[in-house]
Structure 1
């Protein structure tokens, strides 16, 4: 029986990808090369440091560990400045409504995000109170597809992994759900999120009925 819903943040609850892209592009440009939106897609669900390693490799740039820490900090400062623009009502369509609906139905909710700024974003949106637990990049040591962030989310709300549903827009996130023995709902394109139990275009297309239909799948 499903008892909890675990949500990724970017691309599921809110679209901050554009801010990540702008901040990474600014960093790449400062190092003398460009960074494309196509490359940015490959960073979905990937930690900040792992993202930086990928970008430096794309640009053919080598940096020491100390220099990489400074670059990651700089990118984050630009990103945090940008996300201060986020206001209540900027959630992705249906996200707030679905969160309210499942909480009223008695489901536990947790956030499972690689972002270290998840708290800032939820506060700016005014929806922190819709989550029973927040597990973010400050709470985990392994990036998706490692299931750590979701396993900690299930533990935080007192349910077993096989009583949890993960909502994810990234392939790495779906793989993390599978690795954790959890149900998965892909947010996006079925041809991309092929391993998800079901795929919907957005939380506006989710319902309690669809949530319950997952229970027919054995985990």
Structure 2
């Protein structure tokens, strides 16, 4: 695949949060597990895996279905249960510390900063600023896309277009960093250079692929481009 930009054209980096900077999926699982216990639904590995990457209400439906309870609650009660799950989740992420930063990310952010690159966050999570605060990374992300301003989710490019706009850069001057196929598609559709972190067969559309966060350095990116 042809790289979209030469290395010396790049001026900014737009980061996804989950699976790139830290991994909050474990906290989502804990919060859903707490709710399942409360509802008397047996928690299984299959259920846990099934909830990955789907919306809050869809996740709740899946849990209720697993316990044959999908008709036991009104829509209003379901919304209240989903809100309770989010409260559980927020309580869990409050326990995060800089030790929860994924390997190599802090040195990479330091490297970007000392080389004058601009950095923004493009996460669909409303809890993004809280998570950055707990990881002590707030200073690295002066610009954060507010998910409330978005009309479409990934793979739509909107969030990555905004991530570049916040830095006053053209999309082709930015590299987007993602761990999900839909996110990589969003970066590509925004006309930014895409880095996919994870399984290269799943992230085959990425311009550059790193199996793990620790492999990502400016030098490695330069060589890939």
Moved more, 201-210 or 77-86: 201-210
Q: Which residue of 1 aligns with 2:25?
A: 17
Structure 1's 76 and 206: CA in aligned 2 closer, same or farther, altered over 3 A? same
Unmatched segments (≥5 aa) in structure 2: 1-8
Residues 20 and 57 (structure 1), Cα distance of their counterparts in 2 relative to 1, 3 Å cut? closer
Cα distance change on mapping 1:53 and 1:45 into 2, 3 Å: closer
Query: What is the rounded CA distance, in whole Å, between the counterparts of 1:42 and 1:154 in structure 2?
Result: 33
SS of residue matched to 1:9: coil
Q: Name the SS for the 1:5 alignment partner.
A: strand
Q: TM-score, normalised by structure 1?
A: 0.84
1:213 is displaced (CA, Å) by 4.5
The 1:64–1:172 alpha-carbon spacing in structure 2 relative to 1, beyond 3 Å, is farther
Shift of 1:99: 0.8
Match in the other structure for 1:166: 176
* TM superposition shift of 1:39: 5.8
The counterpart of 1:125, out of the listed 123, 129, 135, is: 135
Q: Does the CA-based 8 Å contact 2:121-2:163 persist in structure 1?
A: yes
Q: CA separation in 2, counterparts of 1:202 and 1:189?
A: 9
Q: Counterpart of 1:175? A: 185
Query: Which residue does 2:3 correspond to in 1?
Result: none
Q: Is the 8 A contact 2:60 2:82 kept in 1?
A: no
In structure 1, the gaps of 5 or more residues are none
Moved more, 31-40 or 1-10: 31-40
Larger radius of gyration: 2
- Residue 89 of structure 1: SS of its match in structure 2? helix
Deviates more, 1:58-67 or 1:2-11: 58-67
* In 2: Cα distance, 1:41 partner to 1:115 partner: 19
Greater shift after overlay, 79-88 or 37-46?
A: 37-46
From the superposition, tell whether residues 37 and 213 of structure 1 become closer, same or farther in structure 2 (CA, over 3 Å): farther
For residues 1-219 of structure 1, the aligned pairs below 5 Å read: 1-34=9-42, 50-57=55-62, 59-60=64-65, 61=70, 66-213=76-223, 216=225
- Kept in 2: contact 1:9–1:113 (CA 8 A): yes
Query: Could you tell me how far 1:4 is from its partner in structure 2?
Result: 1.0
Q: Is the 8 A contact 2:125 2:147 kept in 1?
A: yes
> Alignment partner of 1:194: what SS?
coil
2:4 equivalent in structure 1: none
CA RMSD of aligned residues (A): 2.4
Deviation at 1:73, TM superposition (A): 1.6
Decide which moves more: 154-163 or 194-203: 194-203
